[in-house]
Structure 1
Amino acid sequence: MTDLRSTHDPLQTLARQLQQFADARDWGPFHAPKNLASALTVEAGELLEHFQWLTEDQSRQLTPNQKQAVAHEMADVLLYLVQLSTALDINLVDAAQAKMALNAQKYPVEQARGHSRKYDAL
């Protein structure tokens, strides 16, 4: 597994910046994986709140102010996810690529195309 802090891609740079931000504030004791996962869930709920009463069409046509608010919540979700990956020494890109490969097996194009059914119902 690649050390998230040792290379120079944007995600790893972000992880390093987050670590420096937290270190400067002595927040390490509060950043146990359980706490970071809890915070991530809270932020995901705050993201969902922006779409709660919108129709599907409205959710695709956000105003600039709505988009900015959603962008802030998305950033919060990303920041906690990156912090959690650092705390657990999980390379997010490697994990995402492995998961995509698994999903490709679970959702073959010929069976999944045009359907929203879960893999066990294809």
Structure 2
Amino acid sequence: MNNDLASLTQSLRDFAKARDWEPFHSPKNLASALTVEASELLEHFQWLTEEQSRNLAAPKKAEVAAEAADVLLYLLQLCDKLQIDLLEAARLKMVVNAEKYPVDRVRGSSQKYTEISDPNRGE
């Protein structure tokens, strides 16, 4: 794992241990907390137009940054508990996504991979 992520993960372990929170940090609880924080992140964009969401004022951007950090921290803790190398999992997922979404068939399209025609299947 990247040294920065490893260091951050260790800091999270130390933080939880100092507060005796380890008993509460089961994978189920961390996944639940991650979902809650992701929802709090989304809340900042609720009712904004596409253009407004691209041009957040500095105070709003700081709030979004704090929520994004919460998402990252819970995700790191979850992966730590399950011994998942998050960077390796992300790299593998990018390979899978590249296969699902070949550039020559998806450029400029927002279709899901199951909706993309496959020239090898005669579609």
TM-score band, normalised by shorter chain = over 0.9
Query: Sequence identity of aligned pairs in percent?
Result: 60
Specify the structure having the higher radius of gyration (Cα).
2
Aligned partners of 1:18, 1:27: CA distance in 2, in Å? 11
1:11-63 deviation per Cα after TM superposition (whole angstroms, max 9, x unaligned): 11100000000010111100000000000000000000000010000000000
RMSD over aligned CA atoms reads: 0.8
SS of alignment partner, residue 82 of structure 1: helix
TM-score normalised according to structure 1 size: 0.93
Aligned partners of 1:61, 1:51: CA distance in 2, in Å? 11
The 5-angstrom pairing of residues 77-116 of structure 1 reads 77-116=71-110
SS of alignment partner, residue 69 of structure 1: helix
Aligned partners of 1:9, 1:106: CA distance in 2, in Å? 31
Matched, 1:69 2:41: no
The 5-angstrom pairing of residues 1-122 of structure 1 reads 9-122=3-116
Aligned partners of 2:4, 2:111: CA distance in 1, in Å? 34
Runs of at least 5 residues in structure 1 that lack an aligned partner in the other structure? none
Shift of 1:115: 0.4
Letter in 2 for 1:38: S
Aligned partners of 2:67, 2:41: CA distance in 1, in Å? 5
Point out 4+ residue stretches in structure 1 off by more than 2 angstroms.
none
Question: Aligned residue pairs: how many?
Answer: 116
Aligned partners of 1:9, 1:115: CA distance in 2, in Å? 36
SS of alignment partner, residue 87 of structure 2: helix
